[in-house]
Each structure stands twice: as C-alpha cells, then as structure tokens.
Amino acid sequence: MIRKIFKGVCVASVCLLLCFDGYAQKIKAGVLVVGGSSAGVAAAIQSAHSGVKTILIDKGNFESIVLPSDEGQTRSGIYANFIKRVESAQKYPVTKNQVFSPSFAATIFKAWADTVKNLTVITRVSVTAIAKDGKGWEAILSNKQIVKADVVVDATQDNYVASLASLKVVDTIKNSSPDSLPYADNKYRTGVAITPSANTFPVTIPVSAFIGATDNFLAPWNRQIIATTATGQAAGAIAAFCSFFKTTTKTLNVRMIQSELMSFGSQLMRFDDVAEKDTNAMAIQNIALTGILKGRAVSGKFYFMPDSNISTDEIMIPVKEYSSRSQIWFLDNKSEKLSLKETLSLIKFIASRGNELDREVTKGWSTSLKLPGKFDPARPVTRLEFAVLFNAFVRPFNVSVDLAGVLKR
C-alpha cells in the first residue's frame, strides 16, 4: 500500500455516463467513498492515510453521525483517535458510558476529515448513476460532476450505490454459537476488524466478508457486519490496497493489509484479557492471527490467557504448519509445561540460530522485548512470553495467507 507499510452494469447507466462525457467536470481518485456514516468517514480517512487520493461524498453536510451502541467496546484505531479529539474539544476525559449526540459526532468527524491529506470531502451531493469503467468505476453526481475511481466503497445506509450499479448485497458471514471455536475454518487468519458480537469466536471478521462478487466494489455492511469505525477502517485499507497496487479485490495481500491496519492502531482480534494499550498487544495480535496460540471462549468472553503455560501438544500441529522441519524437534521434546529454555531451543531449531540468541533475549528481556519479570530459562514460559519471543525471532506472521487463510509458500 501504502505509506506506512509498503511506501455487470446496465446499458442505460453506460449511456448516461457517455452523455455527460465531454462537458461535465471529471475528478479522478483512487477511492470513492459514498456515505457520511461513521464507517464511511473511517473508510475515507484510512484510505487517505494509506497514501491514496480519496473522495468522500455525503448527501447532507455531516449534520449527524450515529455511532452504534457497540462502538465503544474497544478504543482502537480510528475510534481511539476520535475519542482523543472529543476529549480535546470538551476538555475532560470521555467516560466509558458517555453518549455522543449525532450532531456532535458529526462535528468532530467533519473537522477531522477536513484536515486529512489526500482526502477531498464533497457534501450536499449524491450519486445518480454509476457504471464499471475498465477495472474501476465511473460515477455521476447530482451536481453533474463525474468521478472516476479505482475502487468504490458504498457506506450508505441502504446500499443505495450498489443498487444503482445493479449489485446484490448479501450476508457473507455466519455467526457461530456461543463458546464455539471455529478454528477449523482458517479464515480467522485473515481477520481485519473486530466484531461486537459476543457469539462469534474468534472475535474477528475475515477479509472475504468485505468482498462482493464484483471487483473493487465494497458494500459489506448488512445485518452481519455492523457499520462501525472498525469495519469502515478495514474497508478503507482494502480499497486503498487495490488502488495503490492497481489490482483487484481478488488478489489482496492479506498480511500487508493487516499490517497496515495495525500500524494505524486497529485491533483485528479482540481478547477480553488483553488491554488495547498493552505494550505487547501487536505481538499477541500477530501470533493469534497465525493460529499458533489460540484463544478460549468462556461464557461469552474470549481469552488469550497471557499468564498461562503451554504444552508441546498444544503448539505442535500449528507450528508444523509454519515449519515442517520443526517435527524433528517435537519428536525429541515433550513437555506439559514448556520452559523458556525449551522455547529458545525450538526457536533456534526453526530459525537456525545459535547460542547468541540466549544473550540477545537476556539483554533485551525488559527493554526491546518489553517482557515483565526476570529472565529465568528454567521456569515455564507463559503464553505472553512465547508470543513475544516467537513473533520476534520466528516471525510466522510474515508467511502469506490466501483469502481462505491457507498458508502460501
């Protein structure tokens, strides 16, 4: 993408576009976002932050933005930035149960959007026609301007733009029952936004849920995917990726999009026992998205259990997926409580490291690795320590996955 990480159409619509060609003002953009909802604004801000020229259209003038009741479950990504701006405006901290009026939320978002580089906001206009234009799209606005964009994000409440393009919007994910762990479906590895639903575990929405049948047109919001800043931010990163690399939604680089989102503070998998501001939150996110360490659902909550211990049986199968040669190590090593020494032995075996790794870990334990307590190789390793060490020295998150979450070699 992108600055931080990787600096069928009806005949009538086509005719309408051609009729305006030649005398209407044409605007070119990488991403066109339609709809001034919290999801729409978040999509536009993320797309622009990712280095892509973006246009946000609102049929009103940002008079109101209704934030879903689930919005404040976590303070991460664009929503966390929104909270900071609210606190700056009201001069006191936002409380957990504070409710924002639609007009106040709109004022904050509008002022923010007006300052974002690469983002143009056009208000008091609507899309009157839209048609496929090569790999991208061409839209006619009610003010007779024409916008040519690589990707369209329909953030309208009723999927109005999708209906103009004769596209059918359907539910693309299914909820699981409480206390279930659908880890058999590897799509969790492609998660790009947390879901507020307490009935879906792991608590993440796969990237495929954002992709429709038509290339480079995103309209994911329905009864399954709630329009929030988190889902909007995900849509913005996906759209920006396609525009930046001049590709389509069928050829997404999942890990690159996930990394871009996390670099802007987005939370991709939620654990009820890991704070958003935890210094090792990103390492936990990375390892969780590989499936090497899996969460546990209990009574409607999802836990990472950072202080718990690990057995070799727990990690053997997922580690083998990322390193086939690790099976030799597991043949010779069995433990109910994996020690720090055994963890480093496994890392040395997989990453072809020597005893210098021990010195590196000892020196960086509380500094670069930011791990609590003292380094004692004889004691059992915690899930937090394993996640940080594996993320730093094995880097399984760097292994690419396809849209189904299958590892790509």
pLDDT per residue over 342-366, tens digit each? Answer: 999 999 999 999 999 999 999 999 9
DSSP string, 174-196: -PPPTT---TTSGGGGGEEE---
Q: What pLDDT shows up at residue 74? A: 79
- Quick one: pLDDT band at residue 233, thresholds 50, 70, 90? very high
What pLDDT score was predicted for residue 62?
A: 86
* pLDDT(23) > 80: no
Q: What is the mean pLDDT of residues 126-150?
A: 95
Fold that domain 24-270 belongs to in CATH? FAD/NAD(P)-binding domain (3.50.50)
Question: 15 pLDDT exceeds 50?
Answer: no
Q: What is the model's pLDDT at position 258? A: 98
Which range among 94-98, 140-144, 193-197, 402-406 shows the weakest confidence by mean pLDDT? 193-197
The per-residue pLDDT for range 141-174, each reduced to its tens digit, is 999 999 999 999 999 988 999 999 988 765 555 4
Mean pLDDT of 132-136: 91
Mean pLDDT of the region 286-313: 94
Residue 12's pLDDT band, with cuts at 50, 70 and 90, is: very low
> Average pLDDT of the chain?
89
pTM flag (> 0.95): no
Q: Tell me what pLDDT residue 199 has.
A: 66
Other Cβ atoms less than 10 A from the Cβ of 53: the count is 19
| pLDDT for 290 | 97
Q: What percent of the chain has pLDDT over 90?
A: 75
Q: What integer pLDDT is reported at residue 264 of this predicted model?
A: 96
Confidence bin at 9 (pLDDT 50/70/90): very low
| Alpha carbon distance 60, 109 (integer Å) | 14
How far, in Å, are 9, 148, 211 from residue 170 at the CA level? Answer: 18, 26, 11
Closest CA to 192 of 232, 250, 249: 232
Q: What is the mean pLDDT of residues 300-326?
A: 95
In sequence order, the β-bridge partners of residue 146 are 26, 140
- pLDDT for 90 beyond 90: yes
pLDDT of 247 strictly over 70: yes
pLDDT at 17: 45
Residue 76, pLDDT score: 92
Sequence-ordered list of residues with C-beta below 8 angstroms from that of 92, at least 6 positions apart, any chain: none
Let me know: does 394 contact 347? Beta carbons within 8 Å: yes
Q: Which residues contact 354 (CB under 8 A, 6 or more apart)?
A: 348
- Chain-centre distance of CA 331, in angstroms? 37
Summarize the confidence of residues 172-197 as an average pLDDT.
Answer: 71
Average pLDDT, integer, range 297-303: 88
Structure tokens, 281: 């939150």
Q: Which of 45-49, 87-91, 98-102, 180-184 has the weakest average pLDDT? A: 180-184
Is residue 313 left, alpha or beta, with left meaning phi > 0 and alpha meaning psi from -120 to 50?
alpha
The percent of residues in the chain predicted with pLDDT above 70, rounded, is 89
Domain spans in the chain, listed from the N-terminal domain onward: 24-270, 275-408
| Segment 314-342, tens digit of pLDDT | 999 999 999 999 999 999 999 999 999 99
β-pairing, 127-133 vs 217-218, is unpaired
Whether the predicted pLDDT of 222 surpasses 90: no
Does residue 19 surpass a pLDDT of 60?
no
What is the rounded average pLDDT of the residues 104-108?
95
Average pLDDT over residues 127-148: 95
Per-residue H/E/C for 214-268: CCCEECCCCCCCCCCHHHHHHHHHHHHHHHHCCCCHHHCCHHHHHHHHHHCCCCC
DSSP letters for 119-159: EEEEES--EEEEEEETTEEEEEETTS-EEEEEEEEE--TT-
